[in-house]
A = this chain, B = another copy of it.
Amino acid sequence: MKAVLQTTISNSRGRRPWSSRVVVRAAAVETLDVTSTIALIEKSINTIRFLAIDAVEKANSGHPGLPMGCAPMGHILYDEVMRYNPKNPYWFNRDRFVLSAGHGCMLQYALLHLAGYDSVKEEDLKSFRQWGSKTPGHPENFETRGIEVTTGPLGQGIANAVGLALAEKHLAARYNKPGFEVVDHYTYCILGDGCQMEGISNEACSLAGHWGLGKLIAFYDDNHISIDGDTEIAFTESVDTRFEGLGWHVIWVKNGNTGYDEIRAAIEEAKAVKDKPTLIKVTTTIGYGSPNKANSYSVHGSALGAKEVDATRQNLGWPYEPFHVPDDVKSHWSRHVPEGASLEAEWQAKLADYEKKYKEEAAEFKELISGKWPDGWEKALPAYTPESPADATRNLSQQCLNALAKVLPGLLGGSADLASSNMTLLKMFGDFQKDTPEQRNVRFGVREHAMGSICNGIALHGSGLIPYCATFFVFTDYMRAAMRISALCEAGVIYVMTHDSIGLGEDGPTHQPIEHLASFRAMPNILMLRPGDGNETAGAYKVAILNRKRPSVLALSRQKLPQLAGTTIEGVEKGGYIVSDNSMRNKPDLILIGTGSELEIAVKAANVIRKEGKAVRVVSLVSWELFDEQSDEYKESVLPAGVSARVSVEAGSTFGWEKIVGSKGKSIGIDRFGASAPAGTLYKEFGITMDNVIAAAKTLL
């Protein structure tokens, strides 16, 4: 009987015609087996439910409702459908799973536990939501092997899933050969009502439909309950109709609680639709099994309480003690470890054959997915001298991107409908589109938030792809939630943010960033870089490429800037460095500190003040985070503690600059919103001028 089930399942996972329904209905003689099979499946599903219930109960914190409602689809996915290798969670060709409704993470921990992942042992389940555990309150890829992305903030997970599916489609188109599908996996996602309400999910799903991501299969946990109660109070749209409008295939599983065959059939149907992503709306009962709390808000985000746990045990016929996995369930799931090893071995064999036939492609592919880069890639970065033509750093950025794309096969990306302003087109490539997925220019449309989260997904696909994305710097406000997740989940996304100050001019204050540099300098694990010319832009790209575990934000100018003497890539790598100096023994009379487009002002002011016999040092502070990481000796060599005469100049908020200029120093910046006028006028009116720097300096000399 168990054998029957396992054979069926193995067929399924082997991607041969999938037939459990056929088995179930084929012949009366099999009825006993089938009944037992269903009983075992339900036992497995209840195991998932109770692991979630018990862990939340022990922590007295967490969200039991979703795991209880989604256990059936979770079981079917991890036990019957998905291809993965528990002992190598990073096997390249695994199916990806994203729990966009991340608060239900006990579902995923329970599944990883049953499937045999070493990251979620019984003791990990018992330390759910505790300090140092591998089972934090929301799924975190950097804490738990087997978790693909970091979710919790709603709507972002489905966008991550779009990024994962994009990566698969792109790499498959670039590297697969007939008979050698070395890139071939599905991306599954569970999202809830909350995810559906968030704008980012609509943005991402519009793109998924546009791109025809046929191997993206999303389960919409349609349980009609959100935190504030019945979704009737705020969410009465027709999700089905909307997704049809977005170009998705839509299936409705009306009984997600016990309609296992319905769920299976839906997945089969979804896989058969190859040119569209599929949304499977699965109507479930939140907190299924809890006699008094199911189908209510109260089961969403709190422990059931001892009494209701008992009642649920009673109701579902669950006689076991907390955290118990019955032997037959354990035994049933035990095949995933050997099966997973086989799946990976098969793929390795296929890859070896591929390598024999397609040597060059295989070499590039293997290097790419290993995360290595061709030797000497950084030599492709352009170099500039003071004689090189003045240019906007957004244009210099384009030179870097195009130079790097030639040597880095993993570099791909694009803009949120501002490619011609952000200067982000890779000229030697076409557009990544439904029918040209091998191309590397991604057109995100005006969808900044989804863009960021899709790039997180691409980065966390773990296949060596280096995603960049672009918009005006001020519109980081639209994607800040995704950027924060980049920083948290260690996704080395490169954010190419142009028009980085009032220097953009006439578009006015809605388009002029003021507080944005400060706001990213305050964010953990993200590099805020503001290069001032060509060499610094090249340096910023070197840093951004090398930092695969933290995102980089490049703030770039719209306006032309001169190529300065003394700027270097090496300097940028240290975050702050001396651009010019006429002092002796590390004792300048004055230190002028600039970033980006205002570095030029600092340089010019220094030249004037030096003529008056003063020793003036100019420091470029292109990245505060990198500078902070340097040794105390290095920092002292750039900004000696004994020199308090310091003036900073930056066309942005002065917030935070006290740290650099000290209590006695002065900061020239803008602590109000900008205005609509030509850039030159704005610099003058807001006092971001050489004269003001000189005047400020003189009060300190």
B-binding residues in A (CB < 8 A): 59, 61-62, 102-103, 129-133, 136-138, 140, 150-155, 193-195, 197-203, 206-207, 209-210, 226-228, 231, 233-247, 297, 415, 417-421, 431, 433, 443-450, 474-475, 477-478, 480-481, 484-485, 487-488, 505-511, 514-515, 518-519, 521-525, 653, 655-656, 658-659, 662-663, 671-673, 675-678, 681-682, 685
Contact = CB atoms under 8 A, between A and B. Distances in A.
Contact of A199 (B202, B421, B658, B672): B202
Nearest to A477: B481
Given A199-B449, A206-B197, A150 B510 contact: yes
A61 to B, nearest CB: 4
Given A197-B203, A199-B449, A228-B419, A136 B242 contact: no
Contacts of A59: 506
Contact of A226 (B102, B194, B446): B446
A627 to B, nearest CB: 14
Contact of A245 (B245, B477, B656, B682): B245
A145 B403 CA distance: 49
B522 A653 contact: yes
A675 B510 contact: no
A244 B241 contact: yes
B137 A676 contact: yes
A119 to B, nearest CB: 15
B417 A488 contact: no
Contacts of A133: 676
Given A236-B210, A242-B245, A676-B138, A505 B61 contact: yes
A302 to B, nearest CB: 11
B102 A510 contact: yes
A486 to B, nearest CB: 12
Given A228-B420, A241-B245, A653-B522, A129 B663 contact: no
A662 B663 CA distance: 6
9 contacts: A130-B678, A137-B507, A197-B203, A209-B237, A514-B522, A515-B519, A515-B524, A522-B653, A524-B653
A330 B590 CA distance: 62
A418 B227 contact: yes
Contact of A227 (B137, B236, B417, B448): B417
B234 A417 contact: yes
Nearest to A684: B131
Nearest to A526: B515
B228 A509 contact: no
A238 B505 CA distance: 36
A509 B488 contact: yes
Contacts of A415: 228
Contacts of A506: 59, 61-62, 129, 137
Contact of A677 (B129, B200, B226, B235): B129
A658 B655 contact: no
A131 B245 contact: no
A447 to B, nearest CB: 5
Contacts of A239: 245
B245 A197 contact: no
A129 B676 contact: yes
Nearest to A665: B663
Contacts of A447: 197-199
A405 to B, nearest CB: 18
A95 B245 CA distance: 31
- 10 closest residue pairs by CB, A with B: A199-B199, A241-B245, A234-B445, A136-B676, A242-B245, A152-B510, A131-B677, A515-B522, A522-B655, A477-B481
Contact of A508 (B137, B478, B481, B487): B137
B136 A675 contact: yes
B518 A656 contact: yes
Contact of A524 (B238, B659, B671): B671
Contacts of A132: 677
Contacts of A130: 676-678, 681
Nearest to A59: B506
A196 B87 CA distance: 45
B138 A511 contact: yes
B199 A233 contact: no
B210 A446 contact: no
Contacts of A61: 505-506, 678
Given A129-B506, A237-B246, 4 more contacts: A138-B676, A227-B419, A485-B510, A518-B655
Given A484-B477, A656-B518, A420 B227 contact: yes
Contacts of A663: 658, 662-663
A503 to B, nearest CB: 14
B197 A199 contact: no
Contacts of A514: 522-524
A234 B246 contact: no
Contacts of A238: 244-247
A508 B141 CA distance: 13
Given A61-B506, A131-B685, A519-B519, A210 B194 contact: no
Contacts of A515: 519, 522-524
Nearest to A481: B477
